Structures are given as structure tokens and as C-alpha cells.
Amino acid sequence: MSQRVRGVIAREKGKPVEVTTIVVPDPGPGEAVVKVQACGVCHTDLHYREGGINDEFPFLLGHEAAGVVESVGAGVTDVAPGDFVVLNWRAVCGNCRACNKGKPWYCFATHNAKQRMTLEDGTELSPALGVGAFVEKTLVHAGQCTKVDPSVRPAAVGLLGCGVMAGIGAAINTGGVTRGDSVAVIGCGGVGDGAVAGAALAGATTIIAIDTDDRKLEWARGFGATHTINAREADVVEAVKALTGGNGADVVVEAVGRPETYRQAFYARDLAGTVVLVGVPTPEMTIELPLLDVFGRGGALKSSWYGDCLPSRDFPLLVELYRQGRLDLDAFVTEEIALDEVEQAFGKMHTGDVLRSVVIF
């Protein structure tokens, strides 16, 4: 028996998204159906709509979600109907070459549901990041459900499912930010502000937020930025150096995903510092750097997939910090919207009006 529910799809490259009927199969072995309560609008959803990730249209968008498990398939023991969960796109396999090396946050064979959700005519949908959560109910692998304290606000903790976790983890897990560090974050959307908040949690003493939009910079201060730079008004590299004794930052997080901002990140870091690329570039982007600078400046150039997080470790921990008032997840939620307002939310992303729009069911 399958269920028919409402969801948001991107049918064709570059076309506005639409609300339509989605057919959700009953959970098979290892799978779960989750009643979605809230799902944030991430820039990656827009990348999907624009064909920037791959061409497997139609996509069922949405992937930063929290909800309640409705039913589980055979063999599922870690979650049960009624559990409050944050969905993740890293259900680790436990036996790929990364998992076997004891680095499951790189898992190369993460689990997704085996069955596909479809349109009414049977067309199979590609769920964004293997989740697909702009939908009243979604089918996922049970490992994609991370149980957390149920006393919290779904709209806030759902954001840990992608962007905010990616940002916090980019700073703490990938960048290794620690007490006393100087950190610069380029691009202060949901991901970049996650990095600002992560740097603050880790005890960084100088946290420089960089964006082209003053409102974003104001918000970044709320998450712990000690200094801000408007990239339209200042030379970013020179301004970061001026704020770090002429040296550059220990860790620079690039949360835009463009060659020009990557170049800024590269040159705004101190000798032996670390660049973390968490922004997602598109296929046509390239960058040229003097190889002598790559060598001569030392340090590490890293990429951060999902903040190198382990959902089972990081989600409950961050939810607890939120509960204690030490991580303001509510401040990421600029507005709560309805399912048919996702397209408008993409527009607001471009005009800088929101940090996160969150669809509420």
C-alpha cells in the first residue's frame, strides 16, 4: 500500500518548482516513512533546480528536515514509529574503505531508501541528497533518521540536517578551529553563519564575517562574529589581514562556492593556515593559482562534505547545546512558510532577505 501526499518537485532545469502529488511507498526492509514537520530551504535545492548538481530530473527537493517516524520496514531496530528525528544524508555503511579506516564521516557508500517515491504516473523522483523532504511524508533509509530530544522546535533543529551542520562542521571538524584561533568566514548564509557559530563554540577569539550584504553581516554578529567586512566595500584579503595583525586568519571558511571567493580565502589565510571549501561550485568553474603560492604558503586546502559530520554523534550533541541556550538555532529561522512558497523562498535567497525560510507542515 502506498500513500499519496503533497510535495515540491523541480520538473525541468531552470523552471519554477511546483507542488504536486507524490506517491510514497510503504517502507521496505531497512526503510522508514517519516511525517515531515519542518524542512529548511537550502541553496543546494536551488542548485538542483538549476541543473547544477546533475541531470536526473525530476527532483523531489528539500533535505533539511525534522519529523516523526510513522512506520518502519523489516529489520529496523534503531528507530520506531513515534520517534522524533532529524533527517540526515549520511547514513554510514560501516564497511566501505573509509568506514574500514575508521573515518566514517567520509563514508563512500551511504545508505538511501532502495525504493523510489514517484509521481502519480509512475515517474521516479530523484530525492535531493537522497532525502527529498518538501513533502508531507518521505521515504528514507532508517539510518537517515537520527533520534534527538523531542522537546525542541522542529523548524530549528531540522536545519542541522544540512546547512547549519555543514557550517558548524566546516569550522570545527574540517577546519579544526580551536580556542584562540582567528577565523574568517566568506559568505554568511545559513552555512556561513553555521561556521561562525561553530567557531564561537570552539573558542576562536577573532571571528571575521564577510558578505556582500549588510543584513547578513548584522546577523553574523548575532552568531558570534567579532568583526565584519562588506566585500563590496573593501578588499577582503587586505581587510582580513588588517584584523589579524597583518598575518591572515588561521582558518578561512569559504561558504559561497565561487572561484573569486576561493581565491580570497586562499590569500586571506595565515602561513600554514587552513582553507575550508564548504560552498559548492558548479561544473564550469575553474581556478588558477601560482603553484609556488600553494607550496610557499603551506598549510592545508580542504573541502568539507556536510561538515565532516557524523549525524549520530553530532546531531544529539548540537540539539543539547541548543536546549542549553549555547547554540541559537532559532536565529537561523527567518521565516516559516507553506509548501507552495518554496519558489518565492529561492527569490528571497537571492535578494538576501532571509537566512533560512523553513517550510512548516
Chain residues in the site for ligand NAD (CB under 6 A): 42-44, 47, 162-163, 166, 186-192, 210-213, 216, 231, 255-257, 261, 278-280, 304-306, 349, 352
Query: What string of DSSP letters covers 36-104?
Result: EEEEE--HHHHHHHTTSS-S-PSEE---EEEEEEEEE-TT--S--TT-EEEE-S----S-SHHHHTT-G
| Per-residue cell: 294 | 600553494
Q: Which is nearer to ligand NAD, 148 or 186 (CB)?
A: 186
Residue with cell 588588517: 242
The least distance separating Zn ion from the CB of residue 179, rounded to whole angstroms, comes to: 29
Instruction: Answer whether the bond into residue 81 is a cis peptide, omega within 30°.
Output: no
Q: Which of residues 38-77 bind Zn ion (CB under 5 A)?
A: 42, 44
Among 151, 191, 183, 147, which residue's Cα sits nearest to residue 167? 191
Which residue in the set 34, 87, 99, 345 belongs to the binding site for Zn ion (CB under 5 A)?
Answer: 99
Residue 257 binding target from Zn ion, ligand NAD, none, CB below 5 to 8 Å by type:
ligand NAD
Residue with cell 528539500: 62
Q: Does position 164 bind Zn ion by CB under 5 A? A: no
Q: Which is nearer to ligand NAD, 41 or 319 (CB)?
A: 41
Among 211, 157, 209, which residue's Cα sits nearest to residue 183? 209
Residue 357 binding target from Zn ion, ligand NAD, none, CB below 5 to 8 Å by type:
none
- Which span sits near Zn ion by CB under 5 A: 6-14, 157-165, 206-214, 270-278? 157-165
DSSP label of 129: G
Contacts of 288 (CB under 8 A, 6+ apart): none
Residue 107 binding target from ligand NAD, Zn ion, none, CB below 5 to 8 Å by type:
Zn ion
The least distance separating ligand NAD from the CB of residue 145, rounded to whole angstroms, comes to: 19
Q: Which is nearer to ligand NAD, 35 or 263 (CB)?
A: 263
Residue 190 binding target from ligand NAD, Zn ion, none, CB below 5 to 8 Å by type:
ligand NAD
Residue 99 binding target from Zn ion, ligand NAD, none, CB below 5 to 8 Å by type:
Zn ion
Q: Does position 249 bind Zn ion by CB under 5 A? A: no
Q: Which is nearer to ligand NAD, 210 or 268 (CB)?
A: 210
Which residue in the set 68, 93, 289, 337 belongs to the binding site for Zn ion (CB under 5 A)?
Answer: 93
Q: Does position 305 bind Zn ion by CB under 5 A? A: no
Round to whole Å and give the CA distance between 21 and 137: 11
Round to whole Å and give the CA distance between 354 and 334: 6
Alpha helices in 224-336 (DSSP H): 236-242, 259-267, 291-296, 311-323
Instruction: Give the CA distances from residue 151 to residues 62, 146, 147, 269, 310, in Å, rounded to whole numbers and listed in that order.
Output: 23, 15, 12, 41, 22
Q: Which is nearer to Zn ion, 10 or 42 (CB)?
A: 42
Residue 216 binding target from ligand NAD, Zn ion, none, CB below 5 to 8 Å by type:
ligand NAD
Output phi, psi for 308, to 5 deg.
45, 40
The least distance separating ligand NAD from the CB of residue 237, rounded to whole angstroms, comes to: 12
Binding site for Zn ion (CB under 5 A): 42, 44, 93, 96, 99, 107, 109, 162-163
